[in-house]
Structure 1
Amino acid sequence: MHREHSISFIIIIIMLQLAVVLINLLLFVSCSNDLRGLQNTWHPSFGAKIYSLTDGWEYASATGARFGGVAKSERDVSWDITRLKEVKCNIVAAGRLTGIDPAILAAIASRESGAGLRLNSRGYGNSFSTKYGYMQLDTRRYYVDTSEGPNGLAYFDQAAEELRSAIIYVETKRPYWEKPMQIKGGIAAYDVGINNYSVSAASTIDIGTTNHDYSNDVLARAKYLRSKGIF
């Protein structure tokens, strides 16, 4: 009798393990299907062009010389790939909801928080930070949805919506710009906040952003993630 109970227990454990594997497989397939759908709607229209609009990360030395470039952006985002893959489904779903390329959302998460690496245990940038989550939404600007944590679907949906609002803002200010440049301006506006961003000429689009390279760095990271087939 005892032996029969042991066998039944082992069978139950095996079935539970198989169920977990099946659930993970279904989530992977669902995520992959979402990504294929997004590539079919976003990429052909202007995806290739927007990713050429970048000089990458920059560093200004004491003499005023600037260096770093696309290679630096690619190196930085490559360190975050494992963590980005862990939240890929949420990023893709947020991209589908808002019509924004998930590679750009992932690139912002990399730039802002190292895809969560630089967050404290509460999900903020540091002990005194007012910015929350992977994409560092500023709690001083608006109510941030923390219900599912700093990398939950609700959070990414909200962050993607804020980016979409920033893009729309730039569209209204510069309706004569081509769409890729409006998106690049929206990425810059996301960094500094719509109320603080002065839409300047296309050549100075990052003036006022963090390190004066925000949209260039984000686009270089996004381009790398796409080139590797990660997003």
Structure 2
Amino acid sequence: MDFGDITKIKPTGASRQTAQQDKLGYQGVAASHAMAQTDEKRMRNYKTIIQSVAQKYKIDAALIAAIISRESRAGNTIKDTGGFGDYDPVRKAYNAFGLMQVDINPNGGNHSAVGTWDSKEHLDQATGYLIDFIGKFQTDFSQWKKEEQLMGGIAAYNIGNLRVRSYPHVDVNTTGGDYANDVVARAQWYKKNGYP
């Protein structure tokens, strides 16, 4: 499957809200790149399994790394919770699991956690979901360019495909209002820095 070329996308990068995670006084692509770079040392722990899963699915390793950076800051935000994240105080339970934060909320994605939070099995599961979302956009929005379908699939990984309905406004409903644009900007940084 041809997923499009992340280097051909001109993302807007991280929103001010997302950039605040690192207390950055700026937003946009520069903020996304700074956050990706902050996570790079931790990301090295997973580079081998990222590359293995990327090769299996024929998808950019940089894109997997970028989602790991966005979702768990390369494990930094979840290592003390056994890999669980996105705590819901109403349900008194976590909504997501693993480096790529697969949605385990019964009212959301309702997926089962596969493998340990930092395992190849987890990355395999999560990347499979990402590819399924991209495939939905390739089918449902066949008039979109491959890169636009890729952006839709990335946004859907965050909020589900039914909440992404138009391009270039794929991030209207995503966390921070920037999910796909931030992930692609981070992926572009990782692609230039060791994750082909």
Q: Give the structure-2-normalised TM-score.
A: 0.84
Residue identity in the other structure for 1:70? V
Matched residue, 1:92: 51
- 1:59 corresponds, among 4, 16, 26, to 16
- 1:226 corresponds, among 175, 191, 195, to 191
Residue identity in the other structure for 1:122? G
Q: Give the structure-1-normalised TM-score.
A: 0.72
CA offsets 1:176-209 (integer angstroms, 9 cap, x no match): 1111111111000110023x42321x12111101
SS of match in other structure, 2:85? coil
Identity %: 32
Matched residue, 2:182: 217
Quote the RMSD (CA, aligned, Å).
2.1
SS of match in other structure, 1:130? strand
Residue identity in the other structure for 2:149? Q
Asked if the contact 2:6–2:188 (Cα under 8 Å) also holds between the matched residues in 1, the reply is no
1:42–1:131 distance in 2 versus 1, CA, 3 Å: same
Greater helix proportion:
1
Matched residue, 1:28: none
- 2:72 corresponds, among 107, 110, 113, to 113
For residues 2 and 50 of structure 2, the distance between their equivalents in structure 1, rounded to whole angstroms, comes to 15
SS of match in other structure, 1:131? strand
1:144 equivalent to 2:117? Answer: no
SS of match in other structure, 1:68? coil
Matched residue, 1:69: 28
> Which structure is higher in RCO with an 8 Å CA cutoff and minimum separation 6?
2
For residues 86 and 104 of structure 2, the distance between their equivalents in structure 1, rounded to whole angstroms, comes to 13
Structure 2 unaligned regions, length at least 5: 18-25, 88-92
Q: How many residues align?
A: 179
- 1:180 corresponds, among 147, 154, 163, to 147
